[in-house]
Chain A
Amino acid sequence: MIAFKLAYKNLMGAGLRTLLIVFVLSLAYVLIVYMNGLYQGWDRQARIETIAWEVADGQYWQEHYDPYDPMTLVDAHTTVPAQLEALAAEGKAAPVLITQATIYPEGRMMGVLLRGIDTRQKLLSLPTQKLDPDSEEITAMVGTRLAKSAGLQEGDDLLIRWRDVNGTFDATELKITGIFYSTVPAVDQGQVWIPLKTLQEITGMPGEATMVVMGSAPENGSTLAGWEFKGHDFLFKELEEMIQMKSVGGSIFYTIILALALLAVFDTQVLSIFRRQREIGTYIAMGMTRKQVVGIFTVEGGMHAILAVILGALYGFPLLLWTQKSGIKMPEGTDDFGMAAAEHMYPYYSLILVIGSIILVTLATTIVSYLPSRKISKMNPNDAIRGKIQ
């Protein structure tokens, strides 16, 4: 307790120097929380959106299906197992059939994935009610990204060519009955959605699917013959890696600020020990051990971090709260990174993040305060009392 009292007195006595160090340290706190909160918010938002638009509570994949290798699509279809079919009938699963196709908007040729989905499904946010499986025309919907790149509008006819189960090319015209906006590029870019039944018919794959989106992950065992269940751990692995990679880039900024603040603390400690030798000697003469004096100087340096928490909270708390409420407008084309990104990003500041940042900065400050303070344990108290430079 004495150490804290002394440290506080000495820091207040140092005036402007303390204020500057505390301000830079507080900046480091706020930036660490803000930057990490931004990435956590992005991750959280991307997860929520991806669950809503693409993966629900997991997916069964046909055993040959590999989303990174379109060549596998030729073989990646088989009859939906009866258990999954039953769940689909209850609205707890949504089979999706995927095949390669080519569209010809305004005479241009574009490769797409043609996806068939049950129009009654409610698991995903896709507006599948805009598709009509009973229509004479083949109704289709696309996302705004594809609509923009292909120049498509609702009501347009679109020529499409595909190969059926036997490898025979076929072509027809689709009617665009819906254009939807989604923050998840994977359901939009290069994707054309039509009714599942229609796709099964035109490809000659009745009752078959490439994947089944699940409303809830299976409880007992995840393997069905010829199908593999992919849970969130697997499906979000790539997203997490991408955010992790981006957060490393973002951390450089606050690492520089933190390093500057720590350097200032280190310099102050060195100067302080050099200038206050007489005080150090007096502490020892009054009955403190060298260890206790090292403790006082370490606490004094570490207290910069505590004062920085208070200052950082004063201006950082309202600032961070405001960014959390109003969000941060993302620049155009952010979703070109290939992951879900809404127009506004809402940072998410968890308690663990805030406490973790406080511990990190306080610990780092205490360590850089301790390093120069070790010199005290080698000082001769008699020389120190006289203020002799050692």
Chain B
Amino acid sequence: MKNGSIITIQNLVKSFPIGGGEFTALNGINLTFAKGEFSGIVGPSGSGKTTLLNILGSLDSPSKGETNVLGTASGQMNPKVAASLRKKHIGFIFQTYNLMSVYTVYENVEFPLLLLKKPAAERRAAVLEALEWVGLTDKIKSKPPMLSGGESQRVAIARAMVKKPDLVLADEPTANLDAENSHHILQTMEELNKELETTFVFATHDEKVIGYLRRIIRLEDGKVVSDENIKTRNS
């Protein structure tokens, strides 16, 4: 892994069997992500954004090439190691929020800490802090069906951030939100990125998200077509 980088990808190829043949979703990807980046993988549907994000999140493995995420190489990545990596170091934010409907907001946010077997007092403090970041301390006892889309996604952000992970992977986090809520969510994530130095990697084709990114990696047909650093926000 290069100095200061938390993710390196070398000659990554990912293909899926389709019918009798094979579909190549990612082809020859070489990328490096540094700690504290607020970057996005941008491209049209089917360009391979989500596949790349899944590989970074150790939910999928490369067909060829090498990845190294937070010091764990893809070659060492058995299901147990991958689960441990996700549990300790990676937070996920999904387009559809994926909150557990039978749990309260508090319990949803607490869940990653339960998996980490944190003591109750520590859990409580962390959950309240995370809910404060997203401005939902008044919704502690609510259940997800009682929340708006924006509130639900804020809970999902709190859940991803509560364990203070090194890396947050967000797959189309604003796809189901209106413009106002989208900006609110993105501002929250930007603040957390600055405050906690958490690395954020987005997969998106939403212009609102793109406006917040400090690094934009464009994918087309499974290949990186551009990788630019943005000095100042243009929104």
A-to-B contact residues, CB < 8 Å: 2, 5, 9-10, 12-13, 278-279, 281-282, 284-290, 292, 381-382, 385-387
Contacts A2-B114, A385-B94 given; does A287 touch B88 at CB 8 Å: yes
28 contacts between A and B (CB under 8 A): A9-B102, A9-B103, A10-B102, A12-B102, A279-B98, A279-B100, A281-B98, A282-B92, A282-B94, A282-B100, A284-B59, A284-B83, A285-B86, A285-B92, A285-B98, A286-B86, A286-B87, A287-B88, A287-B90, A288-B115, A289-B80, A290-B79, A292-B83, A382-B54, A382-B60, A385-B59, A385-B98, A386-B96
Contacts A285-B92, A290-B79, A382-B59 given; does A278 touch B112 at CB 8 Å: no
Residues of B with C-beta under 8 A to A386: 96
The 0/1 profile, CB within 8 Å of A marked 1, for residues 87-113 of chain B is 110101010101011110001000110
CA distance A2 to B80 in the complex (A): 18
Residues of B with C-beta under 8 A to A288: 83, 87, 115
B222 within 8 A of A: no
Q: Is the CB of A387 within 8 A of B96?
A: yes
Residues of A with C-beta under 8 A to B60: 382
Q: Is the CB of A286 within 8 A of B115?
A: yes
CA distance A287 to B84 in the complex (A): 6
Residue of B nearest to A5 (CB): B114
A297: shortest Cβ distance to chain B, in Å? 14
Residues of A with C-beta under 8 A to B103: 9
Residues of A with C-beta under 8 A to B62: none
Q: Is the CB of A13 within 8 A of B101?
A: yes
With a 10 A CB-CB cut-off, give which of A5, A13, A282, A290 has the most chain B CB atoms: A282
Contacts A9-B103, A382-B54, A382-B59 given; does A287 touch B115 at CB 8 Å: yes
CA distance A285 to B86 in the complex (A): 7
Q: Is the CB of A289 within 8 A of B102?
A: no
CA distance A278 to B79 in the complex (A): 19
Residues of A with C-beta under 8 A to B100: 279, 282
Residues of B with C-beta under 8 A to A287: 83-88, 90, 112, 115
With a 10 A CB-CB cut-off, give which of A2, A282, A285, A290 has the most chain B CB atoms: A285
Cβ-closest 8 pairs across A and B = A287-B87, A13-B102, A287-B86, A282-B98, A289-B83, A285-B92, A9-B102, A382-B54
B14: shortest Cβ distance to chain A, in Å? 11
Residues of A with C-beta under 8 A to B88: 287
B57 within 8 A of A: yes
Residue of B nearest to A9 (CB): B102
A268: shortest Cβ distance to chain B, in Å? 15
CA distance A296 to B66 in the complex (A): 33
Residue of B nearest to A381 (CB): B59
Contacts A285-B57, A290-B79 given; does A278 touch B115 at CB 8 Å: no
Residue of B nearest to A289 (CB): B83
B135: shortest Cβ distance to chain A, in Å? 23
CA distance A12 to B115 in the complex (A): 21
The 0/1 profile, CB within 8 Å of A marked 1, for residues 102-133 of chain B is 11000100011011000000000000000000
CA distance A2 to B103 in the complex (A): 13
With a 10 A CB-CB cut-off, give which of B84, B90, B98, B103 has the most chain A CB atoms: B98
- Residues of B132-187 at the interface with A, using a CB-CB cut-off of 8 Å, are none
Residue of A nearest to B55 (CB): A382
Residues of B with C-beta under 8 A to A382: 50, 54, 59-60
CA distance A317 to B112 in the complex (A): 41
| Contacts A287-B87, A289-B83, A387-B96 known; 16 new A-B pairs at CB < 8 A | A2-B114, A9-B103, A12-B102, A281-B98, A284-B86, A285-B86, A285-B98, A286-B87, A286-B112, A287-B85, A287-B90, A287-B112, A287-B115, A381-B59, A382-B59, A385-B59
Residue of A nearest to B50 (CB): A382
CA distance A279 to B57 in the complex (A): 17
B66: shortest Cβ distance to chain A, in Å? 20
Residues of A with C-beta under 8 A to B102: 9-10, 12-13
B56: shortest Cβ distance to chain A, in Å? 12
Residue of B nearest to A282 (CB): B98
Residue of A nearest to B88 (CB): A287
Residues of A with C-beta under 8 A to B50: 382
CA distance A41 to B144 in the complex (A): 54
Residues of B with C-beta under 8 A to A10: 102
Tell me which of B54, B57, B96 contacts A278 (CB under 8 A): B96
Contacts A2-B115, A285-B57, A382-B60 given; does A278 touch B98 at CB 8 Å: yes
The 0/1 profile, CB within 8 Å of A marked 1, for residues 70-84 of chain B is 000000000110011
